[in-house]
Homo-oligomer: A and B are copies of this chain.
Amino acid sequence: MKLQLALDGELQSSLAVLHATATYVGIAEIGTLLIYREGVQAVRELRTVFPQMTLLADLKIMDAGDEEASIAFDAGADLVTVLGVTNDATVRGVVAAAQRAGKQIMVDMMQVTDPVARGRDLLNLGCDYLCIHTAHDMQRAGHSPLDLLAHLRHELPNALLAVAGGISLNTIDAIAAYQPAVIVVGSAITCATDPAGTARALHERMNRPVLH
C-alpha cells in the first residue's frame, strides 16, 4: 500500500513538505491547483529536486487525451489522471501517450454513474488505477469514499484501487482495511503542525501486519 501525498499549496511550500515527508511518500501528486498556478513547470521542478520520486500530475484530463497526457509525461510525470466521466476516445488517447512513454494512468472516478461497469471498461481500455475520490466540495457535506471503496473492492477484486478525499489519521484504519493499492492524503499532512510525524504515523498505520 502506497501513500500518495497530494500537493496543492504554493510550489515552495509543497517542496518543503515533500522534503520533510519523502521517506514515507510512495507517490508525490502535483495537484490540480498547483498545475493551474504553475503549469507543468511544477512537475519539472519536483522531478529535478526528487529524481527518484514517483510523480503524479493530477490533470483530470477530459479531452485531447494524447496531447494533454504527453505534456505531463514530457515534463517528467510517471502518472497522469483522466476523468472517468470522459469519452472512450479521450481515454484511448491517454493510454496511447502512456504506452509510448512507458508511464501509467490513474482514473479519477468522481461523478461516474455506474462505477463498477465503467471501472471495468476503463481497466479494459488500459488504465492502471481506479481512484475513488470524494470531491473536495462534497466532503463539506459529510460524504466519504468508504462505501464506494467497499463496493468496488468486492466487485473488482483484482483492480488496483486508489482512495482520496479528506483522509486523515481518524479514517486511515477503516480505509486501509480494504487494502487499496494507494491512499491519497493531502491537507491532513500538508496542513499538519508536524507533517513528517503525521506522514510517518499514516504510513505505519497503512502497513501494520493484518491480524487474522
- Contact across chains for B138 and A89 when beta carbons are under 8 A apart: yes
Residue among B41, B72, B141 making CB contact with A89, cutoff 8 Å: B141
| A interface bracket (residues with beta carbon within 8 Å of B) | 35 or more
Chain B residues, Cβ within 8 Å of A92: 137
Chain B residues, Cβ within 8 Å of A108: 62
CB distance from A43 to the nearest CB of B (A): 10
One complex includes copies of this chain to the number of 2
Choose the segment among A18-26, A63-71, A119-127, A171-179 that binds chain B (4+ C-beta atoms closer than 8 Å).
A63-71
- Contact across chains for A71 and B137 when beta carbons are under 8 A apart: no
Cβ contacts A89-123/B at 8 Å (1 or 0 each): 11011000000000000001011010000000000
Cβ contacts A132-157/B at 8 Å (1 or 0 each): 00011110110000000000000000
A86 at the interface (CB under 8 A from B): yes
- Contact across chains for A37 and B40 when beta carbons are under 8 A apart: yes
Chain B residues, Cβ within 8 Å of A89: 135, 137-138, 140-141
A168 at the interface (CB under 8 A from B): no
- Contact across chains for A90 and B33 when beta carbons are under 8 A apart: no
Residue among B36, B62, B138 making CB contact with A71, cutoff 8 Å: B36
Chain B residues, Cβ within 8 Å of A138: 87, 89
Residue among B35, B60, B68, B113 making CB contact with A62, cutoff 8 Å: B60
**Given that A38-B39, A62-B83, A111-B86 are known contacts, is A68 also in contact with B137, CB under 8 Å in the complex?**
no
5 pairs of A and B residues whose beta carbons are closest in the complex: A39-B39, A89-B137, A90-B137, A63-B135, A38-B39
* Interchain residue pairs with CB less than 8 A apart (16): A32-B62, A32-B64, A33-B71, A36-B71, A37-B40, A38-B39, A39-B39, A60-B63, A62-B62, A63-B110, A63-B136, A64-B135, A87-B111, A89-B135, A89-B141, A113-B113
